[in-house]
Amino acid sequence: MTVVRVPRSLWEALRRAHPGTGDDALARACVERGRRALGEDGLRAEFARRTAAALLLRTELLDARGRAREAAARERASYERHLALEREVVPPIRARARELRAAIAGAEADLRARGLDPDAVAPPMPVDALSVDQEPPRYRTPEERRRRAVEFFRRVGGP
Amino acid sequence: MRFELHGLRERLRQDELAARMREREIAMTEGWLLPRLRRDVAAYEARLEALLAALREP
């Protein structure tokens, strides 16, 4: 036996719409109407709808898998490039700059010891030269990192 | 399928965000930091060369 629950307000509205029809007859009429609506055509339509929805979902899934693979490859490539820059490209240039600054300081001291002015015999140091003597700063929060980056670029005028 | 789709979309969003942020840093390093460092190194080399030449003079 199938039990169908109907909200009281709806049942009252049904009774008002069909005065003179008893509760049992009204319930049988409702169930019969529902069966017709979900008859062979109804089920076929429902099956088609669900099949289409499943196919659509499968297409979306395949598409998302492809895009996820591309995004993962792009993320991996950016990670490797960033790592290579930070480990293999920037540090040797910084080290070379440090080495040159130390050699310049030594040569300037020697010239001054001879009573000569280094600035009179050599082109000047860049006034906005980047600092290469310090280790890269460590930040506690992303906000601090962002704030320090903005301050830095305001100070040196770039990029 | 819905669950997997949700997980994929979330991972896609995170990967794209991480790649975008890192690519911005790479662009900054390649387009700004490296040229500035190379310019500084060239200036240091020029100054050092002139200082050493002055020191070599009798």
Q: Is the bond preceding A19 in cis, omega lying within 30 degrees of 0?
A: no
- CA-nearest of A92, A126, A130, A100 to B52 is A100
Residues of A in contact with B5 (CB under 8 A): 57, 60-61, 64
A53 touches chain B (CB under 8 A): no
Which residue of B2, B3, B15 is the best one to mutate when testing the A interface, meaning the one whose CB has the most A CBs within 10 A?
A: B15
pLDDT digits (tens, 9 = 90+) for A72-86: 999 999 999 999 998
- Average pLDDT over every residue of A40-56: 83
pLDDT digits (tens, 9 = 90+) for A111-158: 999 998 988 888 888 877 777 666 666 777 878 888 887 887 777 766
The tokens for B7 are 């997980």
Mean residue pLDDT of chain A comes to 85
Does position A2 have pLDDT exceeding 80, yes or no? no
A85 touches chain B (CB under 8 A): yes
CA–CA separation, B35 vs A129, rounded Å?
12
Strand blocks (E) in chain B: none
Rg (CA), chain A: 40
Q: What is the pLDDT of residue A137?
A: 64
pLDDT digits (tens, 9 = 90+) for B4-39: 889 999 999 999 999 999 999 999 999 999 999 999
A141 burial (CB, 10 Å; 0-12 / 13-18 / 19+) is exposed
